[in-house]
Amino acid sequence: MRLARLTQRKEFLAAADKGRRFRSPAFTAQVRDTTPEEERGGLRLGLTASRKTGNAVKRNRIRRRLRAAAAQALRDQAARPCDIVIVARPEVLGADFQALVADLSIAIDRARPQKPRGASSADRRRPRDKRVAPTPA
């Protein structure tokens, strides 16, 4: 079975901004439920492996492992209307394949809503007192 893929940057960004997150030791999954108006039909998968994970050979091997694990884990949920972006970590290479499959299979259901990005922690603090020290005359 071949999963549909996310191909455009704006789709990856939408999953990151409006999606829920699931963290495992080997990857982070960002899950965004699609609306009926989007008419995409079914689950779509996007993979990200940055240069921090290793050289090109390692990144390609990481993507192949994650794609194979996703094909097994998400087979039963292929009709579910959502987008999944998997952000890989270098630990994917050393992880047990069955552990990857198990983590991916629960990623959709356990993904938690992320914290709102509206106000930063600096904005929520009390304003500082604006007293000015007297200047010597």
The domain locations on the chain are 4-112
CATH number for the domain whose boundaries are 4-112: 3.30.230.10
Give Cβ neighbours of residue 27 (< 8 Å, ≥ 6 apart).
66, 86, 87, 88, 89, 92, 100, 103
Which amino acid belongs to residue 14?
Answer: A
Give CA–CA dist 85/19, Å, rounded.
Answer: 9
Q: What is the pLDDT of residue 39?
A: 64
Q: Are 74 and 43 in contact (CB under 8 A)?
A: yes
pLDDT per residue rounded down to tens, the chain (137 residues): 678 889 899 999 999 998 889 999 999 999 988 777 776 677 889 999 999 999 999 999 999 999 999 999 888 877 788 889 999 999 999 999 999 999 998 887 777 555 555 545 455 555 565 666 666 76
pLDDT at site 133: 64
Q: Which of 23, 22, 18 is closest to 33 using CA atoms?
A: 18
